[in-house]
Structure 1
Amino acid sequence: MTTSSIVRPDGAHLKEPIIPSKHGETQSFSIARRNPLALDSKVAASSIDNLNQLLADTITLRDLYKKHHWQASGPMFYVFHLLFDKHFEEQSKLTDLLAERVQTLGGVCFAMAPDVAEATIIPRAPNGREDTATQIARLLQAHEIILLEARTMARDAASAGDLGSNDIIVSNVIRTSELQVWFLAEHVQ
């Protein structure tokens, strides 16, 4: 294997493999590949766009949960620290399902934080720590945004014949979000 040498500021030499590449990007983000799924290409393209939007918002919600997990405070610290982490893990599973569905349909899924930040419609949280009531309100708002778009996207996918996308959205995204909303809302009654 061929290697190149990099010199660090401290003078140390590091060897890096040179990975041969005949091409750079193999598929543009905006171009869908046609997979033999017995699904009209326009339907697939529409679902790819919708699922990528839902993916960007789900990644943002997932990251909000981790932020609040790390920054939990107050007398209920331990409860929220665990709850936010549990919800983070559940949202992580959803991001994987959504990304894989985009790829299955022939699209390219969002994969980098700057792309997600540019695409999400969930308002950005401040860098600093917020009190628990504000954290919960922010999470409930993000869930509501996702649920509104997910219901519309599920109906659109079903009416267009994309039952696979409809199933993922209804059985996973909507049901998980509804359950998480219930757990959060119980703390603000």
Structure 2
Amino acid sequence: MATTTEPIDVSPQLSRVETEVRQSEDLIDIPIGLPREDREKTVYQLNQLLADSIMLKDMYKKHHWQVAGPTFYQIHLLLDRHYGEQVEIVDTVAERIQVLGGAARGMPADVAEKSQIAHPPRGREALTDQLTRLLQAHETICTYCRFIAKAIGERGDLGTEDMVVGDVLRVNEFQAWFIAEHLAPVPLENS
């Protein structure tokens, strides 16, 4: 006797993508020994840092693509290296937001709305303008890191304070130094 079997549906089971599990401002309780109110303040500050870091990261890639001039090769490689380091910063900050029970806001619309760093023009710029723009962005981030590190430390969140200083501030200071040296008034050749 032949048995008939119904075909098995192996189609992916898609969910309704408009369903939001929680609002981005809602914190979940993570038992890490920090009061909810303190974590909320820190998450807000870190989302600002995240938006600024994403803007800087994207500026590095844009300038990497569009750099031109006699030092093209060196600057092209430097900007790509800095871009990669900024990618790591973005991931570190976003993950710390999650550790605190928050939701990292890093979509392009979030960055455009929240970043304190001015958007670069869409077109190509002179190298000195590109480097100046990067230095200004680094200064914005470094200044903000110092401000929030102090506030976060006063709230007793040593893990986040350490991340802001060690993983974000120090890298941005180092990158700013490298960029600033390319704007130093030193002749390329001895006259």
Match in the other structure for 2:182: 187
Match in the other structure for 1:6: none
Map 1:153-164 to 2 at 5 A: 153-164=148-159
The answer on 1:80 being equivalent to 2:68 is no
Cα distance in structure 2, aligned partners of 1:142 and 1:131 = 17
SS at match of 1:32: coil
TM-score by length of 2: 0.89
Q: CA deviation at 1:111?
A: 2.7
| Residue identity in the other structure for 2:138 | H
| Residue identity in the other structure for 2:46 | L
Assess, with a 3 A threshold, how the Cα gap between structure 1 residues 120 and 23 changes in structure 2: closer, same or farther. Answer: closer
How many correspondences in the alignment? 176
Map 1:35-74 to 2 at 5 A: 35-74=30-69
Q: From 116, 119, 132, give the equivalent of 2:114.
A: 119
| Residue identity in the other structure for 2:155 | A
Which sections of structure 2, spanning at least 5 residues, go unmatched?
1-8, 185-191
Q: C-alpha deviations, 1:80-128, integer Å up to 9, x for none?
A: 1100000000000000000000001000001311111111010000000
Match in the other structure for 1:92: 87
Map 1:12-23 to 2 at 5 A: 17-21=12-16
Match in the other structure for 2:163: 168
Counting aligned pairs with the same residue, the percent is 43
Counting strand residues as a fraction of each chain, which structure ranks higher?
1
Q: CA deviation at 1:20?
A: 3.4
Cα distance in structure 2, aligned partners of 1:142 and 1:73 = 21
Over 2 Å off, 4+ runs: 20-23
Cα distance in structure 2, aligned partners of 1:68 and 1:160 = 38
Which sections of structure 1, spanning at least 5 residues, go unmatched?
4-16
Assess, with a 3 A threshold, how the Cα gap between structure 1 residues 150 and 22 changes in structure 2: closer, same or farther. Answer: closer
TM-score by length of 1: 0.90
Mark the structure with the bigger radius of gyration: 2
Over aligned residue pairs, what C-alpha RMSD do you find?
A: 1.4
Cα distance in structure 2, aligned partners of 1:138 and 1:39 = 37
Q: CA deviation at 1:34?
A: 1.2
Match in the other structure for 2:189: none
| Residue identity in the other structure for 2:97 | V
